[in-house]
Amino acid sequence: MVSIRAGISTVVSSSGTPWAISWRIQCRVIGALLMREVVTRYGRHNIGVLWLIVEPMLFTLGVAALWQVARMHSEGPIPVIGFAVTGYSTVLLWRNASNRCAKAIEPNLSLMYHRHVKVLDIFAARVILELAGATASLAVLSCFFIGWGAMRAPLDLLTVVVSWLLLCWFSAALGLIVGAVSERSELFERVWHIVTYLMFPLSGAVYMVHWLPKQAQEVVLWFPMVHGVEGLRHGYFGSTIPTYEQPFFFLICNLGMTLFGLILVRQTANSVRPE
């Protein structure tokens, strides 16, 4: 996946650069792109980078408050706040990663004048930023609400971490696919927006699979991210409500999506022209 590039101060034989130097260049490029992303996305005014955490926090608090007021969720084994935090954080992950990668290349065409900046790097920098943001938001919100007493500490941290990592992987792969295809097809970009709105209720964030009738359960378990959300809630709240995650299935989906995404990115990279 790391292509061979000429280093800035190394004389290179025609067989290419050693992996160590290539890796250093790759990290430098993604680091530079990341810093640039932070400045362009969050600016220097108002609270800047903190938006990464405050934006999801505001939304989660709003949703939790709405649910409390509407009493949509009866007092059960899972507190409303915990349900909202675990649910919305997962949506943030895949939705933000894919939305930020959509049409990410076109405004950045001028950056690809630089030899080391590739299409994959631009996606990688954006995905990393969004993953970091959603993770920070989940961690900060969890600590806050646990400290406040609105939810208890996660019962099984290992399950939480594994499910979250799988969800991050899923979001990254989704970002690659959406980013690569939206560059070639205007239609896809429009349709994708609609798909994210439809996927929000279906993605497992707003329900537990156990609540659904049998046939619905079987259908819904085909969505990979549902397994992530179920696993996350299993780790947080234990088995008082049975969860139906299959991490192995999720893993295979991620592998397949990653392969597909990388192929699409390669195709897009070949057809992109720096302006």
Cα–Cα distance for residue pair 207/67, rounded to 1 Å: 13
Cα–Cα distance for residue pair 70/176, rounded to 1 Å: 38
- Residue 131 near residue 243 (C-beta atoms within 8 A): no
Under 8 Å CB-to-CB from 16, ≥6 apart: which residues?
4
Instruction: Report if residue 28 touches other proteins, rule: CB under 8 A.
Output: yes
CB of 110 to other proteins, least distance (A): 6
Write the Ramachandran bin of 16: left for phi over 0, alpha for psi from -120 to 50, otherwise beta. Answer: left
- Residue 165 near residue 250 (C-beta atoms within 8 A): no
Within 94-113, the residues that bind other proteins by CB under 8 A are 108, 110-113
Instruction: Report if residue 53 touches other proteins, rule: CB under 8 A.
Output: no
Instruction: Report if residue 6 touches other proteins, rule: CB under 8 A.
Output: yes
Instruction: Report if residue 35 touches other proteins, rule: CB under 8 A.
Output: yes
Instruction: Report if residue 32 touches other proteins, rule: CB under 8 A.
Output: yes
Q: Out of 2, 39, 195, 216, name the contact with other proteins by CB under 8 A.
A: 39
CB of 273 to other proteins, least distance (A): 7
CB of 113 to other proteins, least distance (A): 4
- Residue 238 near residue 82 (C-beta atoms within 8 A): no
Which residues contribute to the site for other proteins (CB under 8 A)? 5-9, 11-12, 14, 28-29, 31-32, 35-36, 39-40, 108, 110-117, 270-271, 273-275
